[in-house]
Structure 1
Amino acid sequence: MNHDDYSDAYIRSILSKVKTIAVVGASNKEERPSFVVSRFMAGKGYKVYAVNPGLPAGSNIDGAPVVARLADVPEPIDMVDVFRNSEAAAGVVDEALALDPLPKVIWMQLEVRHDEAAKKAEAAGIEVVMDRCPKIEIMRLEE
């Protein structure tokens, strides 16, 4: 897949089938993009889990339950939203590939791209979006 350009149909398809999102690198600081995007996605009806091993498990961020790792999310994950740097994205993808069932989508946020990790995810049947923000895409598509 060409990860330099995504069709609107591809983005719409992903956003329409996703119900549960695990935000890896979620922050409890309201000024952080991960907080803003998590709140926005929850407001759009998605169920959001905040994945951050540095925060107390069992707490919540703006209503999103906090877990230490993807494997701790208590239900199947449709989309893993990666708010980590490009270098860390490969580890997040490996963690996602260990889940059963596998997530449907790996979404890497703005400025996050790891082509090898994307190839691994796609080889396992997972759709991938890189260097995009779902909040921005939803707002753009709703115009």
Structure 2
Amino acid sequence: MTVDDARIREILQNTKVIAMVGASMNPDRPSYGVMQFLLGKGKRVIPVNPGHAGKELLGQPIYATLQDIPKGAAVDMVDVFRRSDAVVPIVEQALADLPHLRTIWLQLGVESAAGASLARAQGVTLVQDRCPKIEYARLRM
């Protein structure tokens, strides 16, 4: 199921808190630039990376897993910078641990029909193979 431009625009406008799974400390990695961009758009971005848990990235504390994010954070979107074969467990954890979740966003080259079905069954939108930074520019937001 493809998410249309009107829905993409709505997601980008209404999302306030984003958990970024696979956030990288390396400024040359796409996740770093996307996190920096989203912070600049006024979003709260919570980096998730078990290899860097306890450190800070762009001034934000890094958590090992989605489950470790404080419950009061009210995460409404999970942005996934991981391979497609890692998506289903991430979707399962997000659905179980993030009660305010509305969107799961899979970055460019990342797709999962099974993850999309799981999300859809819980009323959560799953965007595949897109980048929010690119979508902001494409939709002239």
Pairwise TM-score range, normalised by the shorter structure: over 0.9
SS of structure 1 residue aligned to 2:139: helix
- What aligned pairs does 1:67-82 form with structure 2 within 5 A after superposition? 67-74=63-70, 75-82=73-80
SS of structure 1 residue aligned to 2:50: coil
Structure holding more helix per residue:
2
- Identical positions, percent: 47
CA distance in 2, matches of 1:36, 1:89: 21
Over residues 59-116 of structure 1, what are the superposed CA-to-partner deviations in whole Å (9 max), with x where a residue is unaligned? 2111222001111112121100000000001111011011141411000000000011
- What aligned pairs does 1:9-24 form with structure 2 within 5 A after superposition? 9-24=6-21
Which residue of the partner structure matches residue 96 of structure 1? 94
Which residue of the partner structure matches residue 84 of structure 1? 82
Over residues 26-72 of structure 1, what are the superposed CA-to-partner deviations in whole Å (9 max), with x where a residue is unaligned? 00000000001000000000000000000032x21112220011111
Q: Deviation of residue 7 (structure 1)?
A: 2.0
Query: TM-score of the superposition, structure 1-length normalised?
Result: 0.93
Which residue of the partner structure matches residue 139 of structure 1? 137
Instruction: Give the 4+ runs in structure 1 shifted more than 3 A.
Output: none
CA distance in 2, matches of 1:40, 1:19: 14
CA distance in 1, matches of 2:86, 2:75: 19
Q: Deviation of residue 16 (structure 1)?
A: 1.3
Structure 2 stretches lacking a partner, 5+ long: none
- Contact 2:77 2:101 (8 Å CA) reproduced: yes
| 1:45 equivalent in alignment to 2:47 | no
How much is the aligned-residue C-alpha RMSD, in angstroms? 1.2
- Contact 1:48 1:65 (8 Å CA) reproduced: no
Aligned residue pairs, count: 139
- What aligned pairs does 1:46-65 form with structure 2 within 5 A after superposition? 46-57=43-54, 59-65=55-61
Q: 1:100 to 1:49 in 2, by over 3 A?
A: closer
| 1:110 equivalent in alignment to 2:108 | yes
Query: TM-score of the superposition, structure 2-length normalised?
Result: 0.94
